[in-house]
Structure 1
Amino acid sequence: MKPFRLLVSVCLVALTVLLTPAFIAPAAAQASLLNIVKKDNQTEDKAATDQSSDELRRQAEADLDEVRQKLEENAALQPADAAAAADKEERQRLLDIQLYFRNEKLWRLNDLAALKNTASTPVDTLPSVKALGEKPPYSALRVDALRDELDTQQDHLQSLQNSVQMREAEKQFLSERLRKANEEVRLTSDKAAHEKTEANRRNQEIAELKKQAAEVELAASAADQDYLQAQISSVRQRIEEMKHIVARVLPAQALSESNLNEIRNTLRTAQDKASTEVDQVAARHAKRLAERQRLLAASKNGNDASRLAFIDQALRADSMALEGLRTLQLLEQFHADAWEQRILLLAADSTAEVRQSALNALRQIAASLNTKDKKDNRWQQIAINQENLRAIIADLEARTTSLMQGGSAQIAAEKEVLSLYRNALTIYDRIAQLARRINQETARWIGDFTGAENNESALAGLRLNDLWQTAKRVAYSVWNYELFTVEDISQADGQKITISYGITVGKSIGAIFLFGLGYWLFARITKRILALLVERGNVNAQVASVTRRWLMISVSVLLAVSILNLARIPLTVFTFVGGALAIGVGFGTQTIIKNFISGIILLFERKVRVGDIVVIGDVTGTVTNVDLRATTVKAFDGTEALIPNSNVLENQVINWTYSDPRLRREIGLQIEYGAPVRDAANIIMECAQAHGQVLKSPAPEVYFDGFADSGLDIAMTFWIELGAHTNGRRIDSDLRFMIEKRLAAAGINIPFPTRDVNLRAASPLPVTMATAQSAQESKKSDAGQDTDPQKKHDAPAAKAKQR
């Protein structure tokens, strides 16, 4: 459990380090951004920047003049053949591209210089800020106008940020195209240097122009991105200043009597306008219906048919317009109701219950505009009608254009129908705009007055919703938090282009997830395939295990590189980490790296494989595993030895099964002198041939090996095939049992060792005959001597003297 706890602790610390900037940075930025943006740049830095900008513009103007001169020279060329003419057209196209993008670059440089040189307008001088006045209470209408302008600035900032992201992706694409153009220039230059022909020279010139066009386009994109970044900086400064003003005036907003009259008059005017439009369209619709009935009753000539077709189109347009106007009336009523609730919230004499009721009403209005109920599909139908109207208008515009080209008399009718559909589309656009406005206002007002509620349950719900929104924002900021940035610098059109690759938390988590998923899938697939090979393909299980392990290592490397490339995480981000590891861990991992490389060599050379019977040093046994660091050898006594791969590679290794698993063994025995040697040899040969694990080829052989002291030496050699289920010692034992039994049955004895003892003495040896009585007396005397300790101690000496 200790390693697991350590891993959890490290992950928690890393998560804390990652999340701390996400929470602290926004608050610190909000508190100090105004002070930072209001500080003037140092005079020397500004002068250097201005000088650099002037030099860039002058260089851009010089490059533009050079391209124009090349265009004139190319126009004056007279091609000698069709190939030269094609090359001239290609040069013209590439020079036109250069001219266009050099103009773009110069314009962007001028815009950037103008933006930097133009002093930003102080936010206090804006009309929307001036209209607020200097002292509270502030008009709620003026506060709304300031917040509208703030929303506009935020939308503008989002649009600029999206443009910067597009430019960044474009720069990466253009950098790749520039790389290919440089490669083409190199190839054409080499070819032109080896084969100096006019065609190769023109190809080299075209390749150079393509490279220059790619450089100019990349430089123009970079200049455009610099201009967008400058705009973003300016807009961000303005947004932060406006946010501080809104935060200051928002708690002190109020509605005066004149404001109330203005609001109610505006809302009443909008409702009256919608009602008037409904009446006008309804009256027109009724007239056309009457005319249609009259024409259907008359049906005199073909002109009536064209008029009927026109009326049908007009009636359809009026129906859609009427439907939209009635929805617009409903929205105007919602808008008026929402304002009435806000008036109650801002009223000084409103009680807590009144404010709570007003907030609930605002939520109901917001919910009715954002309903997802399938039965109430009013707003979905509005979107469908908008798309239908756009399709109809596009069709009518195309038809009107074709009629105008053909001089048809139906142009006036088609134009009138087109005008009716355009008016209907305008109504639906007004509906969408008003719906967005009501949604925006209700969301603002609910947020402004959420803290004023006294209803505890409602407060809990609102706080929970706020907490959920905050959690989503924090999660989004953490997911997109940029851990670090890798910059790729390339040279284009005489200037350095920097392409940034941001490594975010989300990108890192996604890469880890994809790696884990891919590793898991490949592990399952390889496990299944190798299991089938072991079951049906007679592949050794240990060989399959080692193969799978090395396959997983190779796949892990390939998978990591592929996912990093897919996530656009360059391998250069690991340069520092790799250097630090090489310095800090290099000396400590010499042996591991040495054994690892040795393992790779063993795997590819296949000198020692799983299942081989080897002798390595003092270890003899079967190879059961070739791992990254060590080779496992299982000895015949069951013990397992882990031998470092470097030892296997550097020391002498005896591999009994390297090229041939067959092994020759030998059994020796003796028979007594006088026994039939030839019969004994035949019996021994028959025993070897009868054993199932003795190979028939090479055949066993029996040798009369010599004359020994006790008998006649006979040796038998035979061959066995080494394997997992072959035990040479057991085979030797089986053969000895068989030989002993067959020789005994044939009456051939295996001799005992015999010795002849020869006694040589100068005189005859004395022989004494002892009686039974003298023997008993001798025993008693010996027993008496044993009871005396002194005698027992002196007995060995006495015996020694007698000898």
Structure 2
Amino acid sequence: MTRTVFSFLRLGLLVVLFAGSPAMAQLPSLKLSEDKVEAPQEETPADKRKRLKSWLDEWRGQVDVLDKGVAPPAGITPDEVASRRADLLLGIFTAENTIRSLDTADILKQSIAQAKEENAKWKSFDKPGPYSFVLHDELRRQQEGIATRMRAYESAVNMFERELGKRQDEIKKADEVVRRAQETADRAAPENVDAEVWRLESAKLKLRALSSAAAMLQHTSDNTRLRTASAEEEAALLKRKVAALGTETAFPQQDLDHLQHSTDERRKDIAKELNGIEKSQQGTIADRQTALAAVEALKATPNPTDADKAKLAAAVDRVQGLDNQLESLANRVEITGARLRFLSEYYEAQKSRKTLLTSQSAADRTEALAALQTQLARASAFDSLVDVRRNSALSAMQEQESRLTSLPPDSPLRPQIEQLLGTLRGDLDAVERFGQDISGLHLDIGRWLADSDQIAKSMTWGERLSGLGSRIAKQAKAVWNFVVYRYDDKTEVDGQVTTVRRGLTLGWLIGALLFFFVAYRAGSWLLKRAFKRLVGKGRVEQGQADTLRRWTRIAMGIVLALVTLNFLKIPLAAFAFLGGALAIGIGFGTQTLFKNFISGLIVLAERKVRVGDILEVDGVAGTVTSIDTRSSTVRSFDGVDMIMPNSVLLENKVISWTHDTPVVRRVVRVRVAYGSQLRMVSTILSECAAQHGVIMKTPEPQVVLEEFATDSLVFAIFFWIDLRAKTGGSVVASDLRFMIERRLSEAGIALASPQQSFQLHADKPLRVQMDAGEVEEVKPV
């Protein structure tokens, strides 16, 4: 026996020790010496029955005393009396169930022994195989039923174990309450002894009732394990029988005829039931017309009294109740009609199964397999319908039962609601019966398809390949028609809005993506060709063409995306889930991205900054090489690319050297010594500037005498160059300096050099002594 069982036995014996006799229960103190308590021994079932029956007699007697209104001791509140009575009823209930569980355990043990005996006695079937499909299905259904029962038993045992743990905690707390109540009774004043002893008895009673509840759970759990053992024996026997059936299945004509006959009989019964429901529906429609006429008549009553208003309200409720009843009857007509239509599915499935197992044609077997798979899919769909209808019927019944509970007993609406509840119960019954039919067919077809895998292994390679093409085509069609996304399509006609639930299949999605890809690639190729011709004709420069082509391609992608959505018939409203909080979050997260994106559009629209312009930003000068969707690239004269956000071109100070024209003025300054011929110098400088091939002739270079410096005469040559030329301004200035230096040297004009003068003040003459080697010392005389 497990540790949990021993714990409950010890607690049960503790309850027995605390219970005492009625005479002892009146004593003010009930102290027991621990050294006199013998070790607990395991009870036999007979001892348990005897103890539980004595408890039952005692508890029933106490309940009778409480029901007779015998006053409790002074100081006992009515709540305490009610709590004691509840504990007594709990003890009676659990003790009765425990006694029944003990009786059930004996029966279960006998059934286990009988199952073992049958398992040992069974050797084989009376007749050799192959055996009828009826026997195959019956034994397999029994196997599935036993497997389901065993899973339920396992779940029940786990639940009982959890409940036993909770009860054990409650027993420990109750034991502590008994101990404190004993201590309180021992120290009670004489005038409070009766009340405290009464409370002590109540605490002991609660402890014993909880122990009885734990024992009930324990015995119920043990019985569930016995049921599991019995089911295991049945499962072992069924496993042997199913193995003895073999894989070959026979389809005798008499069994098929019997199946057809039973199907016809059931069809007649269901058709009769459907006819009765339709008659009830017609009668309810007539009652509703009468009720509506009564409502109209009451509404037309001039100066209605309170009684008239009450009658009108009752009549309106009557119409509403009849509407609910009509809706319920309509649901039952739908379910019963579906049962009638689905009734022949089982017979057709058996025929497909027969073809699958007995036909010599691989094509026929493939077709039969496809038919079974289709019927399995239909059964799954009907399973979903049954779940929806069941939940709807249960919800409606709960609503009407709550409404019925809130009505007074003499309300005139009670018969109407009770009638509606009866109709709803009929609906639920029809749904459950339909669900059983669907579930049975679902399980059978699933099992048959699993068996077909074994049959497929026995086929030759030729038989397998002959049916492979159709299976591949069917699977491909199923994948192609798979619904990826569902959305609501709303259409308004004459003020009436019609909502249609549409599905986007995988095939449509693949087609749309292929269309988008091909169109985008073709459009990109055409744009590339068009801008290449524009560049070739000199209409735009290469950098500008690349930027414009990139932006045009983005716009083309957006337009193609909208066209693709229209091709798929998906409205933009289907993406409304992007709104709200999600859109706000995306907006805050991507505000910088959109800021630069819009800045790029503005830059392109204003054309104040273009590809090829020479800019100076943050002290760095360079040429704009590209203007993209988010950023632009400026290549400095050192060959380093500087990537800057487009917003910088709008918000910061930007110097453009080529905004309106790429022609800029540069200057080179020359210093000549005093005494030089100024006109000759000016002429030489002008000739040098005119001889340089990069310097523009218009405007003409200018030579000016800029300054009389302390050590030189400063001339300046102002000249203009085109920044688009391959030679930069620094190179041109360097060329000019080389030319000027050469021409001035030929003319005998010297370039000025920096000069400094010193003034020396001394009181005495300085003696200077020169030596052939070095100047050793200079000293004042």
TM-score by length of 2: 0.44
TM-score by length of 1: 0.43
